[in-house]
Structure 1
Amino acid sequence: MRPETNEKYIQAPSGLREWIFVFVLCATQLFTQGALGYVLIPLSIVSETFHQTGHEQAAQMNWHVAGYSLTIGSFILVAGRLGDMYGSKNIFVLGWIWFAVWTAVGGCSALTGSAIFFDVCRALQGVGPALLLPNALAIAGRTYPPGTKKNIVFSLIAMCAPLGCSLGGLMGSALAQYALVALVHNQKLRFDWVGSVSGVGGLMLLNISWNQAPIDDWSTPYVYILLILGFLFLGVFVWYEKRVSQPIVDISIFNRQVAGVLLTTGLGWSSFGIWFYYMFQFLQQIRGVSSLDSAIQFIPGVLSGMIAPIFTAWALPRVPTSGLMVLSSFAFFAGSLLLTLAPPEQSYWYNTFWSFVIMPWGMDVSFPASTVFISDSVSVEHQGISASLVNTVINYSIALGLGIGGTVEVELPKGTTILEGYRAAQYTSVGLAALGLVISILLAVFNNQTNAEDEPSQEKVRGSDTTLGPEGV
């Protein structure tokens, strides 16, 4: 269901200016995922900097990745609302400044030798992409009305995700291994502070508890207290958002289709978070592949990830969103399963290669498909919120998936080998992806039934219209 078409869109630039405009929007995704890749892929080398070399400290390494995704996923909702209030361009520029500052500070954190300080820098660095991503998509959503050009732009932004992650991984691995050390609104709006504190607080508390549990165990009081507080905060958030006049998230936009798309997206990306982390742990710790070589092995995934958004842009006007979500969910499932079943001594060109090739179709079909679907489902003034929803689900699910996978790994009985711990986490990834696949299939079946029920009623209306003539008066 699309909003009314009489809304005003910003006039898109033309010629070279439009190319630059789209490039800047795509750069947000490129650098956001690059900042994930340049730490995750050479993670073992990064951890050596902070003397995290023992198996007992492996769980602490999760925070180098999860802290970044945690703040992105938690603050995106607020960032989208800030863009709707104060102008997406203003928040967009602020995001780049914040991102640059904390990237530089994080790069210098090695001088302190403190892993905690590095994790804090990574978390603060994630606020930058949280400001950037929803407002970049909101700018695109307010510039391009529903149609082919909008589908192409959103797909190009999605294409930059695997490209950025791979380039970041290549550059980060190479340096780590070899280097010496204005869309402004005139309307006065109010910011929902209660919703912001309860929503962001709930998301952060839940994620912190899940990612800290593998380190200190669920039996530690503060871990499960944070979990309980997180659920309470989110309960307050939902209750309050239904009653406030200008909410961060307009609950009215949620229907069965929107909820199904977001749930399917979240399950797939949580599966991806586990797959991505344990893929490179498997390659480097079990197969003995160096950080740089493992980044090079990821290149086929980048090429596949550049093809997937092009296909999605072509398919969006031709294939129902539910069908694309089934495709992406199957890719998440197949990619995770291939890694889980890969023997340590097997050649790269079997399970590992095809896992790299297939998994990007989960990411780069679900992101543009869900983003365009949610964007087309809301009005122009709510484009920031729609972009926030999808990005919140994606980035929060990555961080949450890492926490779940880490918990499964460390909760195995004593005496379990490293490989067995990795396998347990990888099977968790398969389970999450399988659940997403089942939900996406049910969503597609429901949509087909709904469309089939609507067609006879539409035919009846058309048939009754033909009887309205002079004879029927």
Structure 2
Amino acid sequence: MGEPTEKFDTPVSSPAGDGDKSITTDGEDMAPQQSNVESIWPVENISAPREVLMVFIACMAQFCTQASFASVLVLLHTIGGSFDVTNPGRLAWLVSGFSLTVGTFILFFGRLGDAFGYKRMLLIGFGWFSVWSIVVGLSVYSNYTLIIFARVLQGIGPAICLPNALAILGSAYPPGHKKAMVFAVFGAVAPVGAVIGAAVAAAISLSWWPWAFWAFSIWLAVLVVLGYLVIPDPPRKDDAFVDGFTWRKIYEELDLPGAVTGVLSLVLFNFAWNQATIVGWATAETIVPLVLSLAIFGVFAWVEIKISAKPLLPFDAVNADVGFVLGTVACGWATFGIWILYFIQILQEIRHLSPLLTVAWMTPLPVVGVFAAIVTGALLGPFQVKPPVVMTLALAAFTIGVTLIATVPPDQIYWGQTFVCTIVIPFGMDMSFPAATLILSNAVKREHQGVAASLVNTVVNYSISLGVGFAGIVELHVNHGDQLAGYRGGLYFGIGLASLGLGICIIFLIRERFIQRKAKTSA
């Protein structure tokens, strides 16, 4: 029984700048040299029920993120109606603003987890998520600006939770089939959380939509308590950074110049694309942030390459294999963001379904998602299918799924393309996420799991937000008073993105085959 990921020819250096130390993706050299970074006890040292609860709480980070995302999607027009907002561009900020902060801050909070402990940061994330969920509900007493502001800050909660939850799992499990299955389950929770979160929110909204967020806040508070009691405390370590740190150590360890320039660049770039759907391109409100974002990103790259002792994003670790993973994940999950946005808009605005009936039409997603996770775990584990092959299958699923909904006739029965679409899309989600996470998780040492988890989650969530912005611009320019034509325009753009990702996968597979043949010839 081999490892769940292939051993690439090119070694991947540690993302924490540990000198000349390099490792390969087969996971044979993953043990840390010193226990300088907090990690949880190995799963062998805790009981089976506690292990199950630990995995459950970690998966709740993914569950709650997707639940918050999908619940607002199904209530988009209900919430907008409370503030007399109907403009699609302004409504989209309820979705893209949340994903913006999730994707933008994940990398930094993964580093905080490496420095201060994954369990501590996970609990802080659940707490922050809970507080701002209350504010989202309370915004009904104020105005639309407050709810957008609250949604943006609410997204920081998942940005804290996701990388540290994955880092807990990455630290607890060594490379192998069990780790592959745990990561597959983490990915399967995404569609389950989306549908259950949307269903609960739609049901509660029959009374009053703010209660959906207040109930969600209560559950997050429960997770804080459960996490504190269930997740094992890390072993005590002698670490000067924790036991008497200085501001200079914080500055170096967290790479504050890189964090500030990186976050600012991502926020401005995303803001420009999403704001363009409201004010258009020929405005300073769009052009200035876009130009500034590109300039600041140049500063960020310079800081990471030339200045930072411990770069937030070590560019020397980004080789062809890592670039393949991040590029395909970006295309696939941007497509997913476009798909789910317009899928729900078509159901509610074109077919005039209620929020609850919309959720009913989405019920195959969690069922197929669980099945897809099991299949993915088996492919990456016992069957030893290479992750690039799994990623290719995932991008094929994204491409087929978005094509089905982009071409569906508005009066077609549910059991036609709509149903088939909900069967196909989960394979894209639940194949791409665990495959990508395993490649990067097994490519770094155990104490740097926060960085590895952060990279995948950053690309996933930032791509969702950016994809929605791109598609919104296409929708704006092809609408011309025809709402369905605008939706299809955005979906056609999604087809292009998914096809691009699929093309990258195919090129990568050809490259791998060429390298293998060359190696055999040389031998």
Structure-1-length-normalised TM-score: 0.93
The residue type paired with residue 104 of structure 2 is: S
Identity level (%): 39
Q: Which position in structure 2 is the counterpart of 1:101?
A: 131
Q: Which position in structure 2 is the counterpart of 1:196?
A: 259
Q: Which position in structure 2 is the counterpart of 1:286?
A: 350
The offset of 1:174, in angstroms, is 1.4
Partners in 1 of 2:439 and 2:406 — Cα distance?
A: 32
Say which SS state the counterpart of residue 341 (structure 2) adopts: helix
The residue type paired with residue 266 of structure 1 is: A
Partners in 1 of 2:338 and 2:409 — Cα distance?
A: 18
Partners in 1 of 2:287 and 2:496 — Cα distance?
A: 24
- Across the aligned residues of Structure 1 and Structure 2, the Cα RMSD in angstroms comes to 1.6
In the alignment, structure 1 residue 16 sits paired with structure 2 residue 49: yes
Structure 1 residues 10-19 or 159-168, which shifts more?
A: 10-19
Partners in 1 of 2:402 and 2:469 — Cα distance?
A: 17
The offset of 1:288, in angstroms, is 1.1
- What count of residue pairs does the alignment treat as equivalent? 453
The residue type paired with residue 7 of structure 1 is: A
Contact 1:73/1:130 (8 A) holds in 2:
yes
Contact 1:217/1:223 (8 A) holds in 2:
yes
- After superposition, what is the alpha-carbon deviation per residue over 1:165-208, rounded to whole angstroms, capped at 9, x for unaligned? 00111111112234487448625352211100111111110111
17 and 438 in structure 1: CA distance in 2 versus 1, 3 angstrom threshold: same
Partners in 1 of 2:412 and 2:481 — Cα distance?
A: 22
Partners in 1 of 2:30 and 2:171 — Cα distance?
A: 13
Contact 2:106/2:160 (8 A) holds in 1:
yes
Partners in 2 of 1:227 and 1:301 — Cα distance?
A: 36
Contact 1:73/1:395 (8 A) holds in 2:
yes
Within a 5 Å distance, the mapping from 1:340-419 to structure 2 comes to 340-412=406-478, 415-419=480-484
Q: 1:147 aligns with which of 164, 167, 176?
A: 176
Q: Which position in structure 1 is the counterpart of 2:146?
A: 117
Q: Which position in structure 1 is the counterpart of 2:31?
A: 7
- After superposition, what is the alpha-carbon deviation per residue over 1:334-362, rounded to whole angstroms, capped at 9, x for unaligned? 00000011010111111111111111111
Partners in 2 of 1:121 and 1:310 — Cα distance?
A: 36
Structure 1 residues 330-339 or 174-183, which shifts more?
A: 174-183
Q: 1:439 aligns with which of 504, 507, 515?
A: 504
The offset of 1:285, in angstroms, is 0.6
The residue type paired with residue 453 of structure 1 is: K
Say which SS state the counterpart of residue 242 (structure 1) adopts: helix
Contact 1:273/1:399 (8 A) holds in 2:
yes
The residue type paired with residue 493 of structure 2 is: T
In the alignment, structure 1 residue 70 sits paired with structure 2 residue 136: no
Structure-2-length-normalised TM-score: 0.84
The offset of 1:423, in angstroms, is 1.0
Contact 2:126/2:161 (8 A) holds in 1:
yes
Partners in 1 of 2:91 and 2:138 — Cα distance?
A: 18
Q: Which position in structure 2 is the counterpart of 1:467?
A: none
The offset of 1:78, in angstroms, is 0.3
Q: 2:193 aligns with which of 148, 164, 167?
A: 164
Q: Which position in structure 2 is the counterpart of 1:466?
A: none
Q: Which position in structure 2 is the counterpart of 1:58?
A: 88
The offset of 1:456, in angstroms, is 4.7
The residue type paired with residue 34 of structure 1 is: A
Contact 1:198/1:236 (8 A) holds in 2:
yes
Say which SS state the counterpart of residue 206 (structure 2) adopts: helix
Partners in 1 of 2:175 and 2:316 — Cα distance?
A: 21
Contact 1:260/1:440 (8 A) holds in 2:
yes
Per residue, is there more helix in 1 or in 2? Answer: 1
Contact 1:322/1:447 (8 A) holds in 2:
no
- After superposition, what is the alpha-carbon deviation per residue over 1:108-131, rounded to whole angstroms, capped at 9, x for unaligned? 11121x111001111111001000
Q: Which position in structure 2 is the counterpart of 1:230?
A: 293
Contact 1:370/1:390 (8 A) holds in 2:
yes
230 and 260 in structure 1: CA distance in 2 versus 1, 3 angstrom threshold: same
In the alignment, structure 1 residue 256 sits paired with structure 2 residue 320: yes
Partners in 1 of 2:341 and 2:456 — Cα distance?
A: 22
Contact 2:202/2:356 (8 A) holds in 1:
yes
In the alignment, structure 1 residue 269 sits paired with structure 2 residue 339: no
The offset of 1:307, in angstroms, is 0.9
